[in-house]
Amino acid sequence: MLVQQILTSKPVGEVFTLAPGATLSEAAALLSEKRIGAIIVSKDGKHPAGILSERDIVRELGKRGVACMADSVDKVMTAKLVGCGKADSADDVMQKMTDGRFRHMPVMDGDEMIGLISIGDVVKARLSELAMEKDALEGMIKGF
């Protein structure tokens, strides 16, 4: 399965972004309100400067306490993004996420972000693919 197929199964326009000057408190509120695990940091919503996950916020809280919540997201975000393209396979994306120990990945078309996928999206797609393969094999064995 390709990333493009995963994107088509997701609601359109569901990538949430914050500007680099937003605070961790604003980020935490958006994460909570939207029930998501990561936010792309971007000036224009299309060109990511970084990604901020719930883990990033928890790590800062653990180190410095609630005072960190006034910091801007660009001080805490992961600036070195690992992305993927529409033509990448789900298996390749899953491997990148596993190797990098992260759960969210922007989908890029050149330098422009066109979507965001999570490890949950990739696992769901892979499970669907495996179920179809299983059904096809059962059909061949049983003569359907």
pLDDT tens per residue, range 74-95: 999 999 999 999 999 999 999 9
Instruction: Give dist(CA 138, CA 122) in Å, integer.
Output: 24
79, HSE (Cβ side, Cα atoms, 13 Å): 5
pLDDT grade for 109, boundaries at 50, 70 and 90: very high
- Using CA atoms, how far residue 14 sits from 17, 96, 117, 135, in Å, is 10, 22, 10, 32
Cα separation of the two ends of the chain: 24
pLDDT digits 0-9 by tens, 14-67: 789 999 999 999 999 999 999 999 999 999 999 999 999 999 999 999 999 999
- The pTM of the full predicted model, rounded to 2 decimals, is 0.84
Specify whether the CB–CB gap between 52 and 78 falls below 8 A.
Answer: yes
